[in-house]
Amino acid sequence: MPRTVLVTGGNRGIGYAIVKGLSKDKECTILMGCRNVEDGQKKSEVLGKNVKAVHLDLSSKDFLHSSLQKIDEQFPRIDVLVNNAGIIDRGSFLDSDVEDIERVLGVNFMAPLWLMHHYLPKMKSHDYGRVVNVSSGWGSFHEEMGGPFGYSVSKAALNALTFAASLEMPESVKINALCPGWVRTDMGGEDADRSPEEGAETAIWLCSIDADGPSGKLFRDRKIVSW
Q: How confident is the model over 16-65, as pLDDT tens digits?
A: 999 999 999 999 999 999 999 999 999 999 999 999 999 999 988 999 99
Domain that holds residue 151: 4-225
Q: How confident is the model at residue 144 (pLDDT cuts 50, 70, 90)?
A: confident
Q: What is the predicted pLDDT for the residue at 168?
A: 97
Q: What is the predicted pLDDT for the residue at 82?
A: 98
Domain count, the chain: 1
Give, to the nearest 10 degrees, the angle between helix 111-126 and helix 61-74. Answer: 30
Q: What is the predicted pLDDT for the residue at 186?
A: 81
Nearest to 8 by CA among 127, 89, 123, 116: 116
pLDDT single digits (tens) 83-102:
999 999 988 888 888 999 99
Q: How confident is the model at residue 80 (pLDDT cuts 50, 70, 90)?
A: very high
Compute the mean pLDDT over every residue in the chain, rounded to the nearest whole number.
95
Report yes or no on whether pTM surpasses 0.75.
Answer: yes
The answer to whether residue 1 scores a pLDDT higher than 80 is no
Q: What is the predicted pLDDT for the residue at 102?
A: 96
By annotation, the residues acting in catalysis are 151, 155
Cα(25)–Cα(75) distance, integer angstroms: 18
Q: What is the predicted pLDDT for the residue at 165?
A: 98
Q: What is the predicted pLDDT for the residue at 7?
A: 98
Tell me if 193 sits within 8 A of 107, measured CB to CB: no
* Strand blocks (E) in the chain: 4-7, 29-34, 51-55, 80-83, 129-134, 173-178, 218-220, 223-225
Q: What CATH number should be reported for the domain holding residue 133?
A: 3.40.50.720
